Every structure is written in structure tokens, then in C-alpha cells.
Structure 1
Amino acid sequence: MTRTHFPGIIAMAVIVVASNILVQFLYGNWLTWGAFTYPLAFLVTDVMNRVYGTAAARRVVLAGFVVGIICSLIGTQIMGEFGPLVTVRIAIASGLAFLTAQMLDVGIFAALRDGAWWKAPLVSTLLGSTVDTIIFFSIAFSGALSFVHAGTDVSWASEVLPILGSGPAAPLWVSLAVADWAVKLSLALVALVPFRMITARLRAP
């Protein structure tokens, strides 16, 4: 690891910490403010991958994973109105989703590295974000996976409602997942602009 990797590690740590804080604050009926900061982790990973290579990107991901674990451990010790701010299930879901999705992003980016400049960051982020959403929300809230931590009460997430208030009926957690996924996909497109600008600046002689 070199000093050139530190900005990426710091950026990833800031995003992970900010997202863990902002996830406590609701935005509308289906989202939290953390939904708008967390996808930036994919931007950091992709910039590191493009400029410094796959190994550097993986180091940044692992640093973010460690920071996320620390945040989760702290959250499990802080009591809110309805119990710990971070339950065991959410901690497991968050860590597994982050590590799996980010490493998938790194691998897909590497495979598409030699294509058009936008293809690697866009495809890797879209697929990584999709996997992240599926893993996190199913492990954290699905009734079928209650064995992950039987002591965590997520019955509220199983209430059957129209998806996003107007679609077919499904458990509430599905609406939360769909809304979160939509934000990730939207930001994947928007992030192409800063990705292009940042990588061009860092790679300039």
C-alpha cells in the first residue's frame, strides 16, 4: 500500500461512516438519507480501479469493510427508541452485502477495463448495486431468513402492502429494496460524470 491509496481509503471510510449515520434518518416513505451517500462507495472503488489497478481497489474495499464492521459494532451498543440502532441481522447483512458487491464490482470492472471508458464503471456498478440490494434487504428483513438471528424482530417489514404504494402487493421490505435499488441505478448513471473528471485529473501527466 502506498500513500497514493490513502485518499481512496479516506474517501471510502467517510462514505461508510456517513451512510451508517444517515441511514437513521428517513427520506419519504421508502428511503433513508443513507441511500444517497452509500452508492458513492462504488464510485470510489471504480476510480481506484481505473487509476491504480485491481489490487488497490480491493485494499480500499477491505478498508471500507473494516470501517463498516466498527460502525456496526458501535451501533449495536447504542439504544434507540425501538432497541439497538443496529441489530445483529442488519450488521451481518450490511457487511456481507458490502464486501460481496464491492468485490464483484472490482472483478467486473477489471474484465471490462479495455472497453469504452464508461462501460466498466457503469456495468460493474449496476451489477454490484443490484447484488448489494438483494443481499442486504433479504438478509436484514426477509421472514424466510429469520434464522440468521431469531432474536431480531422484523415482523414490521413483512407487512404486505402495494409496492411503493401503488404496485402489486408484497412485503414492506420489498418496497424498501426497490426504492433503494432505483436510487443506486440513478446514481450509477450520474456518477459517470465525476468518474470521468476525477480519473482524467489523476491520470494526467
Structure 2
Amino acid sequence: MQAQRYTSVYVILMTLVVVASNILVQYPLAGTLFGVNLADLLTWGAFTYPVAFLITDLTNRQFGPKYARVVVIAGFVVGVTLSWWFSAPRIAIASGVAFFCGQMLDISVFNRLRRMSWWRAPLMASLFGSVLDTALFFSLSFAAFFSFLGPNDDFALGVSPIFGVMTMEAPRWISWALGDLTVKMLVALFMLLPYGALMSILKPMSSLEKAA
């Protein structure tokens, strides 16, 4: 009963994060930083989406991979359905595929490392999951090769210096992907703070502790 109750809370939180990120990823940052045009580098979704990995890792820590997968699948279904209404269909499809694959990889890595140092499992799981998620999301969302999923974003396809500063130019969505991944890695480090703070509150089930 406790697992089901907490799982429902995790599902709601996951859904909110996915929907918010799908909306915010369509809005590049405005302004400049050290002479770099932020619109060529980042979207607002980069700051909200990494929270999904924290939710998955907390579920995995407390109830194990089985319930973590339930949260991911439920968040996937509800999040993609709502995102279809609040964002472009292509974004919803890309988000669903990237979310599902990235989160499942996160669960697998976390489960393999859960017996090591407390920070290793959430950090490494988030980093591996973020790399896969970012590669899938931005390529499916904006690459011309996947245009059969929906119309391309003209602004995303516009050419800009890679990472906003390099002399080599590429479609803007590649810089978005690199900037997004950089932020995700930084946020993954920051997310260790709430994860560590909640460790004494959200303790693993007795069966998980015995297995460890």
C-alpha cells in the first residue's frame, strides 16, 4: 500500500516535469553571455528535465527497479499524451522516445551501482541517461533526416557556430544539444544535494536492504 501511494506521487511529479520540459524546450534563452548568443546554445527545458532523473532514482532507491519502471512507463504515457496537446507532435514523439530510453538506461545503471558509494549510482545513472536522452531527443526533434515525424523548426535548422563560440558552424539544434547536455550534467551534480538530503527519509524497503 505504501509503495503504491508513493508511486502515485512519483508519477504525478514525473508527468509535471515531462510536460513542463516539452513546453520549455521550444523556447531558447534570450540575451548574451560573454559575447555568446544564448539562443544559439540553450533552451529553458535544459533546466527542468534533469529533475526526471532525480525522481526515477529516488523511486529506484526506495522501492527498487520494478516500481521505478512503473513510474517511467506511467510518466511516459501521461506525459506524451499531454505533451501532444501542449507542444508540437514531433516534439511529443521525440520526447517520448528519448524519455523512455534514457530513463530505462538510468534505472539499469543505478541498479548496478546501488551498492557502491551513495553518490555514485544517482550521478552515473543520470549522466549515462542524459547522454542517450539528449542524443535521441534533439536528433528526432530537429534533424532533417527525421522530417517524416513532422515539419522542421526553421530556427533550429539555422546555422550557428557550434556551442556558440567555435569557428565551425552547424545546424543550431546541435549547439542546443551540446548546451543542453552540459546543463544536464551540471544539474545532475546539483541534484545530489536533494538526493543526499532525502536518503534518511526515503529509505529502501527491507527486501532491498537485505539484497544489498
1:125 aligns with 2:126: yes
Secondary structure, aligned partner of 1:139: helix
Secondary structure, aligned partner of 1:200: coil
Deviation, 1:187, is 0.4
Determine which of 56, 61, 86 is the counterpart of 1:50: 61
Higher relative contact order (CA 8 A, sep 6+): 2
The farther-off stretch of 25-34 and 182-191 is 25-34
Asked whether the 8 Å contact 1:20–1:71 carries over to 2, the reply is no
Deviation, 1:95, is 0.6
Match of 1:79 in 2: none
Against the structure 1 CA distance between its residues 106 and 195, is the aligned structure 2 distance closer, same or farther, given a 3 Å change threshold?
A: same
**What letter corresponds to residue 50 of structure 1 in structure 2?**
R
Match of 1:39 in 2: 50
Aligned equivalents of 1:128, 1:48: Cα separation in 2: 16
Against the structure 1 CA distance between its residues 109 and 92, is the aligned structure 2 distance closer, same or farther, given a 3 Å change threshold?
A: same
Secondary structure, aligned partner of 2:200: helix
Deviation, 1:4, is 2.7
1:135 aligns with 2:146: no
Deviation, 1:54, is 0.5
The farther-off stretch of 193-202 and 159-168 is 159-168
Against the structure 1 CA distance between its residues 200 and 106, is the aligned structure 2 distance closer, same or farther, given a 3 Å change threshold?
A: same
Match of 2:102 in 1: 101
Asked whether the 8 Å contact 1:16–1:67 carries over to 2, the reply is no
Deviation, 1:5, is 1.7
Match of 1:82 in 2: none
Secondary structure, aligned partner of 1:161: strand
Asked whether the 8 Å contact 2:144–2:152 carries over to 1, the reply is no
Aligned equivalents of 1:4, 1:71: Cα separation in 2: 22
| Percent identity for Structure 1 against Structure 2 | 47
Aligned equivalents of 2:119, 2:159: Cα separation in 1: 39
Q: Can you give the 5+ residue segments of structure 1 that lack an aligned partner in the other structure? A: 76-84
TM-score normalised by the chain length of structure 1? 0.86
Give the alignment of 1:61-72 within 5 angstroms. Answer: 61-72=72-83
Aligned equivalents of 2:157, 2:58: Cα separation in 1: 38
Match of 1:80 in 2: none
Report the aligned-residue RMSD: 2.0
Against the structure 1 CA distance between its residues 72 and 145, is the aligned structure 2 distance closer, same or farther, given a 3 Å change threshold?
A: same
Aligned equivalents of 1:196, 1:95: Cα separation in 2: 29
Deviation, 1:182, is 0.8
How many residues in Structure 1 have an aligned counterpart in Structure 2?
Answer: 193
Deviation, 1:69, is 1.5
